[in-house]
Amino acid sequence: MNEQDFIKDLEAGKEAAFSRLLDDYQQKVFGTCISFIPNKEDAEDVAQEVFLEVFKSIHKFKGDSKLSTWIYKIATNKCLEFIRKKNTKKRFAFMQTIMGNEIPIDKTSYFTEVNHPGILLENKEKSAIIFRAINTLPESQRVIFTLAKIDGKSYQEIVEITGKSLSSVESIMFRAKKGLQQKLERFYKNETS
């Protein structure tokens, strides 16, 4: 079955098409989600939201890109939405503590909890530091760095997912690497002194 027929079957709500969609993309979408949200349960929840959005919005798919690119774009946006909500809740709770309400909170960024299944126990601390550093990057740098280095997407795939030009992706990636290098150098310098 070619992609056009597959999309038509999805639009028609055929159960076999939805089943195939899950078979073909479930692990890939989860892989993208866990790259942005290194906590298994949260990543699974966001991956489910991605498929709900795909099911709900398949009729909006225009065919300008491959179906997989469209799905990755939804996954990336859902992950960023989750991170923004999580960080907003923490900022709100922090403001409540400043105003005198006694709500215990963790004032660190979201990525302090690393529960990524691919991380070996002995590397967990280093990985937590790296994920925290990635989380401090500006959003465009964080997205492109995560898609390239953690999720393993090619620059061309990133261009299609983000809608940015290749030169823009390369430039943002360069700045992300440079920013991470500086952050990690400062961290390790502080650790050894």
We report the CATH number of the domain holding residue 148 as 1.10.1740.10
Torsion from C-alpha of 42, 117, 31, 148, nearest 10 degrees: 110
pLDDT band per the 50, 70, 90 thresholds, residue 76: very high
Give the range of the structural domain holding residue 118, as residue numbers without chain letter: 3-192
Residue 107's contacts (CB-CB under 8 Å, 6 or more residues apart) are: 90, 94
Do the beta carbons of residue 148 and residue 155 sit within 8 Å? yes
Q: What is the pLDDT of residue 95?
A: 45
Domain count along the chain: 1
Q: What is 34-85 written as a DSSP string?
A: HHHS-BHHHHHHHHHHHHHHHHHHGGG--SSS-HHHHHHHHHHHHHHHHHHH
pTM reported for the whole predicted model: 0.66
| 15-35 pLDDT tens trace | 899 899 999 999 999 989 988
CA distance 34 to 41: 9
| 118-131 pLDDT tens trace | 544 445 666 677 77
Q: Is the pLDDT of residue 153 over 60?
A: yes
On the CB side of 106, how many CA atoms lie within 13 Å of its CA?
Answer: 8
Q: What is the pLDDT of residue 88?
A: 63
Going by the DSSP 8-state scheme, the letter that residue 147 receives in this structure is I
- CB count in 10 Å sphere of residue 92: 11
Do the beta carbons of residue 30 and residue 23 sit within 8 Å? no
Query: Would you state the structure tokens that stand for residue 26, as one six-digit string?
Result: 């479930």
Q: What is the pLDDT of residue 105?
A: 38
